[in-house]
Amino acid sequence: MYCVRKVTDDLYWVGANDRRLTLFENIHPIPRGVSYNSYLLLDEKTVLFDTVDWSAGRQFLENVEHVLDGRKLDYLLINHMEPDHGASIEEVLIRYPEAQVISTEKAFMLMHQFNFNVDGRMIQVAEGDTFSFGKHEVTFVSAPMVHWPEAMVTYDLTNGVLFAADAFGSFGSLDGRLFNDEVNFDRDWIDDARRYYTNIVGKYGPHVQALLKKASTVDIKMICPLHGPVWRNDFAYFIDKYDKWSRYEPEEKGVLIVYASMYGNMESAVNVLAAKLAERGMTNIAMYDVSKTHVSQLISETFRLSHIVLASVTYNLGIYPPMHNYLMDMKALNLQNRTVAIMEAGSWAPKSGSLMTEFMDEELKTMTVLNEQVSVLSSMNETSALEMDQMVEGILESMND
Ligand code: FEO
């Protein structure tokens, strides 16, 4: 059965939801699922904006057929070729043999690499080109690395709709409610939106900044992303988040404590630290066991907060492996501009503190590592308690900088 939503008078959401997928890109948990958004414009010509993941192809094709209501499909416009959107291209082209494909040179290269037969049907466009479908005229804006090199966004000059590709997307499936003002985004969606952005696009902050700059020159009336809700008001809220995330600026002053503990002694120590911080008035504290928390969640929280306490036991004379993995992910995603406090633990040769400090200094050069560090020899004692008091002071003082 078709399942569609009307977006404007002549534009329809014809995408699909996926609540069965456990891991997005086979790596990031999505307990709330994900939506693959596709849009169909009924102008003098009919235009399908992007497709969906193959797993949702059946629902998507039913939706397209229903909205076309017997009309032929004239154009398939592809903004982004990653298979969560591009996988159904070939099936659309088989079903609608008169459809021509509008996309970028790099996207056509990728279509050939994925063995899609688009020969003789390609209309290649580039930044600044315009195209008319009748009443609607669109222009194309390249969006390289948001989040693949071929990506573009399409702006409808007639009604101000921005087809934003991966930009302004969110993890989470749609429960019938399509628009941002039909949900409580700040309560129910922002964590998934942040986890989506930071883990999928987080590495490419300067490219997102470039796109935001271009977007600021046009009058946007609606943002249609390829995942999550469609935005039709309150753009400043989400653009401000994207601006902060892509500049690697924290959203909030607060302390993220990520700890690695084998037998509970480091866990006990960070509990003491958190209590001391709270005692001193710090109310924005988040604490995670690195062994039990998916790294995509840790990355998301690291983008959110200004201060990070890295608390790790020593393991094989190195950093505890899940903590090391988290640090490597921070590096891969280009994380910057945080204040970091280091706590180490070990029973005979604590090394994790010096190694984490070295990692920050050499691999994440824009981080500020506080001088106040805590070393726990097997378990907390008076010396480490004193060091912790100094660390608390250091964290709070640095918040006022
Ligand atoms: Fe949602 Fe980069 O694909």
| DSSP labels, 311-368 | EEEEETTEE-HHHHHHHHHHHHTT----EEEEEEEESS---HHHHHHHHHHHH-TTPE
Ligand 1 centroid–CA 226 distance in Å is: 8
CA distance 28 to 24: 5
Q: How many CB atoms lie within 10 A of CB 309?
A: 24
Please state, in angstroms and as integers, the Cα–Cα distance from residue 19 to each residue in 35, 76, 172, 299, following that order: 8, 26, 8, 23
Q: Is the CB of 194 under 6 A from ligand 1?
A: no
Give the pLDDT mean for 149-153: 97
Tell me the per-residue pLDDT of 32-77, one tens digit each, with 9 for 90 and over: 999 999 999 999 999 999 999 999 999 999 999 999 999 999 999 9
Tell me the per-residue pLDDT of 288-327, one tens digit each, with 9 for 90 and over: 999 999 999 999 999 999 999 999 999 999 999 999 999 9
- Which residue minimizes the CA distance to atom 3 of ligand 1? 82
Residue 55 corresponds to which tokens in the numbers above? 């797993």
Q: Is the CB of 192 under 6 A from ligand 1?
A: no
| pLDDT at 392 exceeding the cut of 80 | yes
What percent of the chain is modeled with pLDDT above 70?
100
Ligand 1 centroid–CA 83 distance in Å is: 8
Q: Is the CB of 80 under 6 A from ligand 1?
A: yes
The whole-number pLDDT of residue 317 equals 96
Residue 368 pairs in a beta bridge with 339
Residues in the chain: 401
Q: Is the CB of 150 under 6 A from ligand 1?
A: no
Q: Is the CB of 87 under 6 A from ligand 1?
A: no
Ligand 1 centroid–CA 166 distance in Å is: 5
User: What DSSP assignment string belongs to 236-288?
Assistant: HHHHHHHHHHHHT--SEEEEEEEEE-SSSHHHHHHHHHHHHHHHTT---EEEE
Ligand 1 centroid–CA 333 distance in Å is: 16
The whole-number pLDDT of residue 400 equals 87
What percent of the chain is modeled with pLDDT above 90?
99
Q: Is the CB of 84 under 6 A from ligand 1?
A: yes
Give the pLDDT mean for 149-156: 97
The whole-number pLDDT of residue 130 equals 98
Tell me the per-residue pLDDT of 75-120, one tens digit each, with 9 for 90 and over: 999 999 999 999 999 999 999 999 999 999 999 999 999 999 999 9
Largest CA distance in the chain: 79
Which burial class, exposed, middle or buried, applies to 345 when counting CB atoms under 10 A from its CB (0-12, 13-18, 19+)? buried
Give the pLDDT mean for 20-33: 98
The whole-number pLDDT of residue 301 equals 98
Tell me the per-residue pLDDT of 344-378, one tens digit each, with 9 for 90 and over: 999 999 999 999 999 999 999 899 999 999 999 99
The answer to whether the beta carbons of residues 398 and 368 sit under 8 Å apart is: yes
* Average of per-residue pLDDT values in the chain: 97
Tell me the per-residue pLDDT of 165-181, one tens digit each, with 9 for 90 and over: 999 999 999 999 999 99
- Give 227's pLDDT tier (boundaries 50, 70, 90): very high
Could you identify the atom of ligand 1 that is nearest to the CA of residue 201? 2
Ligand 1 centroid–CA 262 distance in Å is: 37
The whole-number pLDDT of residue 76 equals 98
| pLDDT at 161 exceeding the cut of 80 | yes
Residue of 298, 295, 276, 296 whose CA lies nearest to 287: 298
Could you identify the atom of ligand 1 that is nearest to the CA of residue 227? 1
| pLDDT at 401 exceeding the cut of 80 | no
Give the pLDDT mean for 237-250: 97
The whole-number pLDDT of residue 143 equals 96
Give the pLDDT mean for 143-147: 93
- Fill in the amino acid letter for 254: G
